[in-house]
Amino acid sequence: MNDTQASHAAHGAGHELETGKAYEPKVVAYCCTYCAYTAADLAGSMRLSYSPQVRIIKTLCTGKIDALLLLKAFEEGADAVFVAGCNIGDCHFLEGNLRAIQVVAHAKHLLAEIGLEPERLEFFHIPASAGPLFAQRANQMVERAMALGPNPLRFSAHEKYGKKLQREPDSHPALPPARFGRLVTEAEREKGATPVRTPEGTIPGA
Ligand code: FES
């Protein structure tokens, strides 16, 4: 366990999940491929340590993110989510990052309305050359998720996916085994072979 992980473990020591396991936050990072994703890659190449609790999802541009996608991450059990895009003026799609800032602000309002802390969601500008900044932001969000505790929706996610689905027994009668006639090749047809009888009928010209 490195220093970062040890410090996170110390912070989250008080939380225990309903499943009996110690709380390990799940942080989802939507990263623009041109900047934040490259920065995350660079952080790895520079051997900078950041929390393994961060799950990176590469997007072409943060302008592609919508509020529903952010809320879906929380519904699926993420404890914190961040969107990381290019600096203002550097977006390859001109205004994608500006749109993303608005979407994140809107989603924060929606989180507050359903009773989740808006601080669980954040937008960051992370240029491609900023590997250390990516590591810092990732750790910051993990620490925040530790301080806020588990996302209450996590338990419904556990209910949803943690147990096997109950399936009604199949009420349909078993289908009869399929029976197919013998395949007749073109060469056999040309030779004028005798007709082939199949359960579905006779193949003409065979
Ligand atoms: Fe990076 Fe749009 S291309 S935020």
**pLDDT by residue for the chain (206 residues), tens digit each?**
445 444 444 445 456 665 567 889 999 999 999 999 999 999 999 999 899 999 999 999 999 999 999 999 999 889 999 999 999 999 999 999 999 999 999 999 999 999 999 999 999 999 999 999 999 999 999 999 999 999 988 766 656 665 554 555 566 666 666 665 666 677 776 776 666 565 556 655 54
96 lines ligand 1 (CB under 6 A): yes
Distance 5 CA to ligand 1 centre (A): 30
Contact criterion met (CB below 8 Å) for 33 and 70 = no
* Cα 139 to Cα 50: distance, rounded to the nearest angstrom: 6
Q: Is 186 a domain residue?
A: no
Ramachandran region, residue 152 (left: φ > 0; alpha: ψ -120 to 50; beta: rest): alpha
Instruction: Domain count for the chain, please give it.
Output: 1
- The answer as to whether 95 is a domain residue is yes
**Does the residue 203 lie in any domain?**
no
Tell me whether residue 190 is in a domain. Answer: no
Assess if residue 125 is contained within a domain.
yes
Amino acid identity, position 75: E
Structure tokens at 194: 């005798």
Site to probe by mutation for ligand 1, drawn from 30, 31, 34 as the one with most ligand atoms within 8 Å of Cβ, is 34
Residue 105 Cα to ligand 1 midpoint, Å, equals 17
- The verdict on residue 193 lying in a domain is no
Cross-strand partners of 17: none
Answer yes or no: is 124 within a domain. Answer: yes
- Name the DSSP letter for residue 92: T
Residue given tokens 């669980």 in the structure block: 120
pTM (2 decimals)?
Answer: 0.70
Domain limits for position 126: 3-161
The SS3 of residue 156 is helix
Q: Residue 140 Cα, ligand 1 centroid: separation in angstroms?
A: 22
The CB of 84 under 6 Å from ligand 1? The reply is no
In a domain, 110, yes or no: yes
- Give the domain CATH number at 157: 3.40.50
